[in-house]
Amino acid sequence: MGQIQDLAGQSVHAVAGIGNPERFFDLLERAGIQVKRHPLPDHADISISPQDLTFDDDLPVVMTAKDAVKCQFPEAGRCWCVDVEVEFEGREGESLLQLVLDRIADVKAAA
């Protein structure tokens, strides 16, 4: 597998079944890739929908690694996947962690 920069200057179909697909598309464009956007619903089940990756040309298809693990059909052979990391700003990560820990404590207390 190559690097995202290997696609710089090329047109691709970008497929994203994530909460904010525009961030993924913007990431690709910042790498110099011309993006044909194909947003899907968050957590889309593309493992049973190969038409989500079938287009009228031979351009590469780029998706997040989260979506790529769902692909189990022959058309997936011309696909690239990109690892995307989540970064929290400020103290958002700490706040989310505390929320989860509080919820776990509530569930344990109710048991």
Q: What Cα–Cα distance (Å) separates residue 110 from each residue in 97, 104, 107? A: 20, 10, 5
Predicted pLDDT at 76: 52
In tens, the pLDDT along 45-91 reads 665 456 767 788 889 888 887 777 777 655 555 676 776 666 767 77
Nearest to 62 by CA among 14, 3, 110: 14
pLDDT above 90 coverage of the chain, percent = 18
pLDDT grade for 28, boundaries at 50, 70 and 90: very high
Residue 10 is predicted with a pLDDT of 92
